[in-house]
Structure 1
Amino acid sequence: MGSPKSGGAKEDTDVDIVGDSPSNSSGEADPSSSSLGISAYTEGERVFAYHGPRIYESKVQKVEMRKVDTTEEKRYFVHYLGWNKKLVYALFTSSCRNLLTCMGYAIWLSNAFLTSINVKTVIINSWDEWVGPERLLKFTEENKKLQEDLKLKQQGTDKNPKSGRSSHMKPKSSADAKMDKEDTRNYVGKGKKRKSDFSIEEKDTISNEKLVKIQIPSTLKKQLVDDWEFVVQLGKLVKLPRSPCVDDIMKRYLDYKLKKEGMIGESVGEILKGLRCYFDKALPVMLLYKMERQQYQEAIKDDVSPSSVYGAEHLLRLFVKLPELLSYANIEEEASTRLHTKLIDLLKFLQKNQSTFFLSAYDNPKGGVAEGSGEDSLEEEHKHSKKHDHDHEHHHHHHHHHGGGGECLELTNSQKAVLKFAKAIGWADLAGFLRENLQLCCCSAALLLCAAVSPYLVPKSVAKLLQNAFISIAFPLVGVSAGLDAAIDIAAGKVNIHVLMALAAFASVFMGNALEGALLLAMFNLAHIAEEYFTSRSMVDVKELKDGHPDFALVVEMKGDKLPHLSDLAYKQVPLPDVEVGSYILVRAGESVPVDGEVSQGRSTITIEHLTGEAKPVEMKVGDRIPGGARNLDGMMIVKATKTWNESTLNRIVQLTEEAQLNKPKLQRWLDEFGDRYSKVVVALSLGVAILGPFLFKWPFIGTSVCRGSVYRALGLMVAASPCALAVAPLAYATAISACASKGILLKGGHVFDALASCNTIAFDKTGTLTTGELMCKAIEPIHGHREVFRSKGACCTPNCEKEALAVAAAMEKGTTHPIGRAVVDHSIGKDLPSLSVENFESLPGRGLYATLTGVESGTRNGELLKASLGSVEYIASLFNSEDDSKKIKEAVSTSSFGSDLVHAALSVNSKVTLFHFEDKPRPGVASVISELKDHGKLRVMMLTGDHESSASRVASTVGISEVYSSLKPEDKLNQVKTISRDMGGGLIMVGDGINDAPALAAATVGIVLAQRASGTAIAVADVLLLRDDICTVPFCIAKARQTTSLVKQSVALALTCIILAALPSVLGFLPLWLTVLLHEGGTLLVCLNSIRALNNPTWSWKQDFQLMHKSFMSSLAMLLRRPPISDTVQAKPV
């Protein structure tokens, strides 16, 4: 790049920006200088130091004699006054901005350029470094002027796109570089930014418009929150080295792009190299929490790269910081757009492989957790900690942060002040301890109960002392954490349920009602414990699925091309992500099948109840397909992997379920936006009641035992009107997602229920959806050339002709994967057919097959070489030169006694033509499914198929569909879906499985696919996946959607009713504060109980609900009536 290189160790041969310094241009000479004319400096002296093309004020901290090559020279350890990270990045990019702009992808197009610059020193040596005397200048007025001149010169360079780097550059010596590296390694985690003696005018400011906005997917946001919780709150660390590490992830991403697109552009590889470089340089200073820095020093030694040690957890942190880092580079708009697209694609890849790349739990550090100190540590410890109830689907009373989201949330200055004060007096530590020990909340409730009943059990003089003692112990157990949480929220200007409850409780104490205030907080916490219990019941235990699955697969070591027998196996452990398609895996009794596969050896019984809800054990034999995650109950088998871990059934279930629980429906999004405003309105109304009550209604302000005051009534309103019950109303969505998952139905979010409930039309594809998709040979019919051959014998040879035709067709189709070929082979199994051998074979794409055979005993000479062709009727007819013969063959299909609406194939053997008739049978129970959708679901049912009209009509009449659209190409299906949706109003459900259904599935209001045989494209665009491959679950899915939306509406109505019924009596003074809390939290629990009703099987209407309840009641009553009296069951004692 035109920069000189210094000698020395290999690791320091690259030019270092920090080390590059201009020659001493001041022209100053000191009498006491060395023969080189360089001045000497003392410890504590203020000097100017060259850093890049400019000089900065600094202070000499140490002076030592260091060995440089063969001589000893003075070296100075300087601290740059007022230095900050932004200035470091500004210096780095200002030196290189012009070169970077000319490159295709701004920062990352040239890996050689990036790696030639020791950016690690730029970032880590933010404040201190060792330098030689040639980089220092005396602190004089003349050099101050030189500083300004260099500043103006560099600014002019930045504005001139053709200018190169400053000519004032000298390479740092290898000795200095080694010293810097050694000192900064010790400096990581210890250094603390010092206040500047003088402000630096050139601090860069970043506008939001310049930031490259990177939208992190919601599931990865949750991963960021979990990462913060593990490290900061629980004190756990990522176990190093990680597998897969960042380098492995990059390699897998390249492989993924290669398989998907067939080729990889140079830009993708260069961006990944640049991203890896940024990761290595940014990790130690901006991607580590303080408690992780000791682990970094132990893990990164010698030439070890962080990207080979750390994994996806820390890579994801980089994406949060990337917008800030990229803002310092002058990136053109077009290049920025392309770069943004590539980064989003990489994030989607991380999301797709989230369960593989990210840890579900971290490890405890060996030596404990290093405590951070000061304000910076406080800020780190409380990052992400202030998103509350409405950012989650339920409350976490013991984790106050309620972490939804996942992006770093900066604390305000007022919040930092509150946290600093809380840390200083031990308030924060005590609050954290109480949150982690929930049993103390129960103890508090028990003590308060004792305080409440003590006046009735002991004399009044003693009761008052006991009450005060109980309250003094119980109140801090629930009030310490509540007070800190409320203070932090109020400091940020937030008003939520925690603020409302805390205000009411502490106001009660100041009013002399400490028992009521403590009861309020205790009941609030107990109610949330119960709420979390109900909520946990509603959630799919994804963690249990993950924990119950192995981390490794036992891959069988092959001996040549032959698979060894079960009794003579050698195998090795291979991590699941590294298992390749085609590998043979040993599955022993009691183990789970690692990935989707096919049984190659052995027999066993498996259970897939935890995957699809199918309780009955399934027998597995050779050739059977088996899903990943299935549990082997007995026996031993070898399974051939047919899918990678990322594409396996279990991983898809985990990914889709986690994604579904994070994709919020419309009502929940509205409640999230409404919650904050509503809480502020409640506070305003409460203040109005407290202030205006004495003037409008003549209430006392504080109140007496006879008449409750306006403040007391206001507190009751504040508690009663809190939106707890409203916040948990959408819990029914999560519950219903879990209920569907237990039945093998995966939805891509709660919003799918709303869409399903709004639909009034459903359309089915035919082949593979309404039918089994597997052809069966219904009949074999000789149609040309048979009778003429045997006319001389005077007998019809139809039976023999059928056998011979079937034998020839089966021989030609042996080993095929074509549906017709499989049907022919299956039909030939178990039949006494002539033996034959295929001499020559040729496949004619788009037409059929051709072969020559021997061994068939026919009317001709035994063993004669026969020429056979198998294919469509049109292809076989085209083989005859005579137009009459061709016409007869074509007409034979329409005049066949077996009907023309079947699937046909023709076989010609030495000019004798035989017609094979195939039919695609409807799935078992599909007729009852259609009937249920029509009669109970009140849906308009239709068929959209690409098959010809006669075949479609035959299936439609069998299953009970009257509206049929046939001979549709994929684009025709798409247009038909759009037209029907527009003309009919409401929504349309499309059920299919093939790649030709994908456009229609995407255009429909809701797309449902049968996942076992569905194409990857169909699965990608669908909203609902049926894992069981059972169309009978379609009515269940629609009924569940209607049940769920109904339950949510009921929950909202119930929540509003409870708020009104508790608020009005409280304002009127009829209810004490503790009873108001009881009613409020009772309403919240009722909403939870109503929501978990979504775990029950759905019905189509409230009438069916009532009928089922009545039937259950009458059944229970009959059982009671049939029981004999108790007296009859008592045996008489012997005399």
Structure 2
Amino acid sequence: MKQIYYLNHLGCANCGAKIEDKIQKIQGVEDAVLDFAKTRMVVEQKSDEDLTVTIQEICDSVEAGIFVSKEKNIEEEESPGEELKGTLLELFLVALAVVGIRIFVSKETLAMAFYGVLLIYVGFSVYRESLSKIRTGDFFDENFLMSIASFGAFFVGEYLEALAVMIFYRIGEALQDMAVERSKKSIANLLETDQSYAHVWRNENWMEVDPEELQVGDKILIKPGENVPIDGMVQKGESLINNQAITGESRPIETGVGEKILAGSIAVDGTLEILVEKSRENSTMAKIQEMVDQSTMEKARVERWITRFAKIYTPIVVGIAAVIGFLIPIILQSEFSPWIYRACTFLIISCPCALVLSVPLSMYAGIGRASKEGIFIRGGDRMELMAEMDGIAFDKTGTLTDGKFYIDEIRCLTGTEEALFSAAKSGEIFSNHPIGKAIMEYPLGEAYNVESHKDFAGKGIVAETSQGRILVGNEKILEEFSIENPLEKSQKTRVLVVQGETLLGEILLSDRIKSGVEKSLVWLRKNKISTFLYSGDNDALVQDFAKKIPIDKAYGGLMPEEKLFHLEEELSKGKHLAYIGDGINDAPVLARADVGIAMGTQGSDMAISSSDIILLQDDIGKIPTLISLAKETKKVTYGNIYFALGAKILIMILSLLGITSLWLAVFADVGVALLAVAYATSLLRWKTPSL
């Protein structure tokens, strides 16, 4: 059972990782995952027991000020900006006190006493937190490091520097909290997709209700400037629709009677009456919202690694600092003071916060930026895998083509065209496939009364009707029932129609390549990413289609299990492979691929549920954007790691040589964290590549 606990006021990613680790060890908890961007903990429990009190106790032992609840923001939080102002005012008064001591206090012992009082005042929250954690046995964090460093500096006679370092640290922490909070809000705004109200026609009147109350068959009203709260079909009115929030398409598109419309769209200049076609929980946007909620929970490999690294990193550097401060002067038979000072400098720079903070922020920012493009990613691990893709396999119909078939030719062997279409419509009457829709929309023939209906995946449909048994499908459905086929093969998509034991004829259809497909495939080839085409259409048609666009390998006439076989064959070579599809028969392949990518508006519910990424705009042109953004996210993530570790190691070496000071150590610690956060959130301003 999944339970969500909000950690209100959580501001430290390193502390969050410790809390996550402790919660995972609670009896009855199967797993716990921290969503730092939304300051919540998602806990998998064996029962529905409320663990709020237990988790509160854990949080109190790790970071003071966290308030655990089942609801977000149940009490008003002080904004980071106001907190910074308060800190600056407090520290300004302390600075004035220091100036007063320098001017009016001449005795060194009295001045030292005053500096000591000010140090305890300025660092009181840090020391209190450190003492609290020492009592629990989990004290290896920045508060402990700063406490030891400041007292060590004071002990060796660096009174002013010890005080100044604590002041600088407090300012830096306030600045860091403000930067992190603003970053989390920016990312959350990009991931926000919910809608809060709907106008529905009930009791002969328009009423405003919660979208959760809407039912299939309801009629809702969308006024200019309002969001569409649920999937439906336009019954009345015309309007330009802005889909930017959900598909990333900046240009409004026209919509009118008979057009489908997704939740999250905005009516620009007209009023629309819409028939609700899906319940709120089954709508496309609900599935995407679920994916968005899950996206920050699925951690990338690098996130998991950095969390494990932080657990052993801090105790090791504390041990090294002890060696520097006490063992080295004994070995060298020198004074303790300069070596204790160097050890203090070493301790300050060793804090792992910049590392633990920047990695999840980078991943969250990348996922948030992708959502702005209408690309919804299930988690950081999928983002990381997309950056490592060796190849991409595509379905054909509805993926590389627009999925709108047009009837090109009708070949009758027996009877009339009307009889041919009546039989074909009887087989396709329940079909949601683009081919079936094209046949049903053709203005010829009427479906018979259908008594039973069975779908043979990858082959066709068998229907028992008032006019006997009808088969509709490809050559494989004829082979299944031992029906002879005298018709010559065609390069077009063909639908064979059988009534009883007689082949009535075939319907030939054609589809169109989506705009942007060829440019995207050229881009993939230039970037050395292999491309594959797995299609259920006849092989001759698929090979002919593949020649028109730059596909490396194409396979036609495939059943779902055969698509899976070819995918497994490529995966067995050690390649990272993504699969892009939209149909029910794509679900097994989407689930097996390293990354499954589904079409958001044309894709089946099963395909969307089985996928790791949704392209809400159904645009293959987004694939270069997705891969480029994934690579940029990986570059920023690892760039932050290398930068933070490099800066810290450099200052550590300088501190060992006695070249650096406590000032520079604090600047390096806080400054590196601020720069890492700034670099991570630069992903929110990332520009899409030109094809």
Superposition TM-score, scaled by structure 2 size: 0.79
Question: 2:618 matched to 1:1024?
Answer: no
Of 1048, 1061, 1072, the match for 2:661: 1072
Aligned ranges for residues 528-677 of structure 1 at < 5 Å?
Answer: 528-536=173-181, 538-539=183-184, 544=189, 549-557=194-202, 570-677=205-312
Question: 2:409 matched to 1:779?
Answer: yes
1:647 Cα shift? 3.0
Structure 2 residue aligned with 1:110? none
Question: 2:319 matched to 1:319?
Answer: no
Unmatched tracts of structure 2, length 5 or more? 1-25, 71-77, 454-460
SS of the counterpart of 2:273?
strand
Distance in 1 (CA, whole Å) between partners of 2:425 and 2:511 is 23
Q: Aligned letter for 1:721?
A: S
Structure 1's 433 and 760: CA in aligned 2 closer, same or farther, altered over 3 A? Answer: closer
Question: 2:603 matched to 1:957?
Answer: no
1:570 Cα shift? 0.3
Q: Conserved in 2, the CA contact under 8 Å of 1:555 and 1:584?
A: yes
Of 297, 302, 313, the match for 1:678: 313
Structure 1's 953 and 450: CA in aligned 2 closer, same or farther, altered over 3 A? Answer: farther
Distance in 2 (CA, whole Å) between partners of 1:784 and 1:1017 is 38
RMSD, aligned α-carbons = 4.7
Distance in 2 (CA, whole Å) between partners of 1:720 and 1:814 is 69
Q: Conserved in 2, the CA contact under 8 Å of 1:1010 and 1:1028?
A: yes
1:716 Cα shift? 0.4
Of 86, 101, 119, the match for 1:440: 86
Distance in 1 (CA, whole Å) between partners of 2:243 and 2:184 is 19
Distance in 1 (CA, whole Å) between partners of 2:84 and 2:591 is 47
Q: Aligned letter for 2:560?
A: P
Distance in 2 (CA, whole Å) between partners of 1:842 and 1:599 is 29
Distance in 1 (CA, whole Å) between partners of 2:421 and 2:567 is 45
Distance in 2 (CA, whole Å) between partners of 1:839 and 1:718 is 80
| 1:244-269 alpha-carbon deviations (Å, 9 max, x no partner) | xxxxxxxxxxxxxxxxxxxxxxxxxx
Distance in 2 (CA, whole Å) between partners of 1:532 and 1:517 is 23
Q: Conserved in 1, the CA contact under 8 Å of 2:87 and 2:174?
A: no
1:646 Cα shift? 2.4
Structure 1's 733 and 594: CA in aligned 2 closer, same or farther, altered over 3 A? Answer: same
Aligned ranges for residues 351-370 of structure 1 at < 5 Å?
Answer: none
Of 333, 356, 364, the match for 1:727: 356
Structure 1 residue aligned with 2:33? 218
SS of the counterpart of 1:961?
coil
Of 335, 347, 351, the match for 1:718: 347
1:448 Cα shift? 5.9
Of 1066, 1080, 1084, the match for 2:673: 1084
Distance in 1 (CA, whole Å) between partners of 2:486 and 2:106 is 105
Distance in 2 (CA, whole Å) between partners of 1:673 and 1:875 is 54
Structure 1's 980 and 837: CA in aligned 2 closer, same or farther, altered over 3 A? Answer: closer
Q: Conserved in 2, the CA contact under 8 Å of 1:434 and 1:440?
A: no
Distance in 2 (CA, whole Å) between partners of 1:583 and 1:686 is 69
Structure 1's 813 and 660: CA in aligned 2 closer, same or farther, altered over 3 A? Answer: closer
Aligned ranges for residues 149-160 of structure 1 at < 5 Å?
Answer: none
Structure 1 residue aligned with 2:631? 1042
Q: Aligned letter for 1:823?
A: A
SS of the counterpart of 1:215?
strand
SS of the counterpart of 2:511?
strand
Q: Conserved in 1, the CA contact under 8 Å of 2:80 and 2:178?
A: no
Distance in 2 (CA, whole Å) between partners of 1:742 and 1:501 is 40
Distance in 2 (CA, whole Å) between partners of 1:1007 and 1:1095 is 24
Q: Conserved in 1, the CA contact under 8 Å of 2:419 and 2:445?
A: no
Q: Conserved in 1, the CA contact under 8 Å of 2:62 and 2:133?
A: no
Of 97, 109, 124, the match for 1:480: 124
Question: 2:405 matched to 1:767?
Answer: no
SS of the counterpart of 1:1030?
coil
Of 903, 913, 932, the match for 2:494: 903
Q: Conserved in 1, the CA contact under 8 Å of 2:492 and 2:508?
A: no
1:519 Cα shift? 3.2
Q: Aligned letter for 1:1073?
A: L
Aligned ranges for residues 1045-1060 of structure 1 at < 5 Å?
Answer: 1045-1060=634-649
1:777 Cα shift? 1.6
SS of the counterpart of 1:1081?
helix
Q: Conserved in 2, the CA contact under 8 Å of 1:993 and 1:1010?
A: yes
Q: Conserved in 2, the CA contact under 8 Å of 1:777 and 1:918?
A: yes
Distance in 2 (CA, whole Å) between partners of 1:223 and 1:1039 is 26
Structure 1 residue aligned with 2:164? 519
Q: Aligned letter for 1:1055?
A: A
1:476 Cα shift? 6.0
1:927 Cα shift? 1.5
SS of the counterpart of 1:942?
strand
Structure (1 or 2) with the greater strand fraction: 2
SS of the counterpart of 1:675?
helix
1:1067 Cα shift? 2.6
1:1058 Cα shift? 0.5
Distance in 2 (CA, whole Å) between partners of 1:471 and 1:975 is 74
Q: Percent identity?
A: 26
Aligned ranges for residues 450-469 of structure 1 at < 5 Å?
Answer: 460-461=103-104
Question: 2:559 matched to 1:969?
Answer: yes
Q: Conserved in 2, the CA contact under 8 Å of 1:1009 and 1:1025?
A: yes
1:1027 Cα shift? 1.6
Structure 2 residue aligned with 1:919? 510
Structure 1 residue aligned with 2:456? none
SS of the counterpart of 2:200?
strand
Question: 2:137 matched to 1:493?
Answer: yes
Unmatched tracts of structure 1, length 5 or more? 1-210, 228-312, 323-375, 389-398, 407-431, 559-568, 703-708, 787-801, 829-835, 853-866, 879-885, 1109-1135
Structure 1's 481 and 631: CA in aligned 2 closer, same or farther, altered over 3 A? Answer: farther
SS of the counterpart of 2:397?
helix
Q: Conserved in 1, the CA contact under 8 Å of 2:187 and 2:365?
A: no
1:994 Cα shift? 1.7
1:1051 Cα shift? 1.8
Structure 1's 714 and 549: CA in aligned 2 closer, same or farther, altered over 3 A? Answer: same
Q: Conserved in 1, the CA contact under 8 Å of 2:424 and 2:497?
A: no
| 1:192-229 alpha-carbon deviations (Å, 9 max, x no partner) | xxxxxxxxxxxxxxxxxxx98342563799999689xx
Structure 1's 609 and 535: CA in aligned 2 closer, same or farther, altered over 3 A? Answer: farther
Q: Conserved in 2, the CA contact under 8 Å of 1:813 and 1:822?
A: no
Structure 1 residue aligned with 2:457? none
Structure 1 residue aligned with 2:60? 385
Aligned ranges for residues 728-747 of structure 1 at < 5 Å?
Answer: 728-730=357-359, 731-747=361-377
Structure 1's 447 and 321: CA in aligned 2 closer, same or farther, altered over 3 A? Answer: closer
SS of the counterpart of 1:614?
coil
| 1:145-199 alpha-carbon deviations (Å, 9 max, x no partner) | xxxxxxxxxxxxxxxxxxxxxxxxxxxxxxxxxxxxxxxxxxxxxxxxxxxxxxx
| 1:860-889 alpha-carbon deviations (Å, 9 max, x no partner) | xxxxxxx9x9966989999xxxxxxx98xx
Q: Conserved in 1, the CA contact under 8 Å of 2:497 and 2:503?
A: no
Structure 2 residue aligned with 1:288? none
1:719 Cα shift? 0.7
Q: Conserved in 1, the CA contact under 8 Å of 2:423 and 2:497?
A: no
Distance in 1 (CA, whole Å) between partners of 2:122 and 2:142 is 15
1:589 Cα shift? 3.4
Moved more, 1082-1091 or 503-512: 503-512
Distance in 2 (CA, whole Å) between partners of 1:583 and 1:1044 is 43
Of 996, 1009, 1012, the match for 2:598: 1009
Q: Aligned letter for 2:48?
A: F
Superposition TM-score, scaled by structure 1 size: 0.50
Distance in 2 (CA, whole Å) between partners of 1:596 and 1:433 is 37
Query: Could you say which structure has the larger radius of gyration?
Result: 1
**How many residues are treated as equivalent by the alignment?**
642
Structure 1's 525 and 662: CA in aligned 2 closer, same or farther, altered over 3 A? Answer: farther
1:949 Cα shift? 0.6
Q: Aligned letter for 1:492?
A: T
| 1:544-601 alpha-carbon deviations (Å, 9 max, x no partner) | 589885544332116xxxxxxxxxx503344333322222222333432222222222
Q: Conserved in 2, the CA contact under 8 Å of 1:604 and 1:637?
A: yes
